[in-house]
Chain A
């Protein structure tokens, strides 16, 4: 086993152990904050699989999450479909529906791709309010949607189990040659084609994986919240929180976006008593800026480097 693999396995083990014991030590309020962080981590991982690797920056992930959330909410709330069925259907709809929308956009490059995906999000926001408001609940959305489980502790374990399953699966998937090929697209797409690989096929596979996770996360999220409204999902701040989580933690690492989401959510909550207003975002923006300037690879690399330094200090003393 290579040294970096060992380091990552150690990080996984510590992380899972801490997270499993967490409900013993923290308040229910804090747990609710971490439940949101778990969902944010799922969305950031979904973004990372596509954008962190291939460099195709998606501004449309709330659109995908929204398809998942709305589909499951409508099916269960309006048509009394059991959640066991509505969630898989929502994931399927997001994967297929999202792909149909994004497919033409994947031919675009750089900022054009980002702008088109942003347009999807805005379009969805407008459409949800005017098309069949009897189904979507229009501007006000829906409330009283069936929840999967009750209580902070149960929801915490559910969201954590979902997040960690997705994270480990994606971490393993991205360690295969498929992950390497996606990273190669981010470095030089022409050279990937020049190596005999269909970049269209690769990007499509990355996108479908990303949409699958977004749909899954979106569907579970709506059945945790029990309510849904267009501005809560198709919102630029929500989008930026997802992207900043991925970047601050370390793009193209899977673990990075997960840590980024936790760090960001906990930071914002910790700042709430000191700075109750939007000034908190100023601090979070500054921290993000400092991380990008001094450690653009993200916090995970910073943690690994620190572990390395600690180990060398310990070994030099012994």
Chain B
């Protein structure tokens, strides 16, 4: 494993009863790199995100962030270190406005600051604009947003935590081509600024230009890794995606 690794999974095993979700999994992502995670449903991709964020605890193995183990840290402490994620199904605060949702992401974890410092409205608006949310949506509740705008809000709340590593889970699902282009542009901009990404997507066409490297998974194990074209032309991957015929 390289010293330049931003995040490293070291022989991570996670079982759910008799099901092996990740099977002795090891890989890393380097600083500023963008890694694509592909594989059929149930391959264990989202489980990896849950393990990295500390939402699940692995049965064995270690997860290192900037060469330090984060295995014992709770979720919020991992986020404070600079790793964040979005969810396949967006999870907004339904009775708050778009800006208030972003406000929660921007909030410091100190009670004193929460109480004695007001929200930074300008920063909230700046983040909302950055992800492509329009001004008339700022004071709307998330229940009135389209799925595309909900994904943008999810991205905005994640970006508000000031991450250096972002985990994006099916960020293009349910979006129009224009919306995909908008989010892809945002990801590319953040890549240029040096942000590290791990992206899960079934939309391989949209994923390809956004990643430096890909890992294909099946039943909790890595079946192929390399550049996007290497992985996609791998026999095992072809079989998993297209079947035996």
Contact size class for B?
Answer: 20 to 34
Asked if B5 is at the interface of the complex by the 8 Å CB criterion, the answer is: no
**Beta-carbon contacts of B145-169 to A below 8 Å, as 1s and 0s?**
0000000000001101100000000
Question: Is A177 a contact of B91 with CB atoms below 8 Å?
Answer: no
> Which of B76, B87, B93, B117 contacts A193 (CB under 8 A)?
B76
Tell whether, in the assembled complex, residue A201 and residue B104 are in contact, meaning their CB atoms are under 8 Å apart.
no
- Please, which residues of chain A bring their CB within 8 A of the CB of B119? 177, 180
Q: Are A195 and B157 in contact (CB under 8 A)?
A: yes
Task: For residue B207, give the distance in angstroms from its CB to the closest CB of chain A.
Answer: 23
- How many of A's residues come within 8 Å of B, CB to CB? 24
Does A195 contact B160, Cβ atoms closer than 8 Å?
A: yes
Interface 9-mer from A21-29, A78-86, A124-132, A182-190: A182-190
In contact, A195 and B104 (Cβ under 8 angstroms): yes
Bound complex: CA A191 to CA B103 (Å): 12
Which of the residues B75, B76, B100, B109 comes within 8 Å of A180, measured between beta carbons? B100
Q: How far is the CA of A59 from the CA of B82 in the complex (A)?
A: 39
Most-contacted residue by chain A among B80, B111, B158 (CB, 10 A): B111
Are A196 and B76 in contact, with the CB atoms below 8 A? yes
| A183 touching B76, Cβ below 8 Å | no
CB of A276 closer than 8 Å to a CB of B: no
Task: Decide if A192 is an interface residue (CB 8 Å cutoff).
Answer: yes
| Residues of A with C-beta under 8 A to B87 | 194
- Whole-angstrom distance from the CB of A188 to the nearest CB of chain B? 5
26 A/B residue pairs, CB under 8 Å, sorted by A: A177-B103, A178-B114, A180-B100, A181-B104, A181-B114, A183-B96, A187-B94, A187-B96, A188-B92, A188-B93, A194-B79, A194-B87, A194-B157, A194-B158, A195-B79, A195-B104, A195-B157, A196-B80, A196-B84, A196-B105, A196-B161, A197-B109, A200-B74, A201-B109, A201-B111, A202-B111
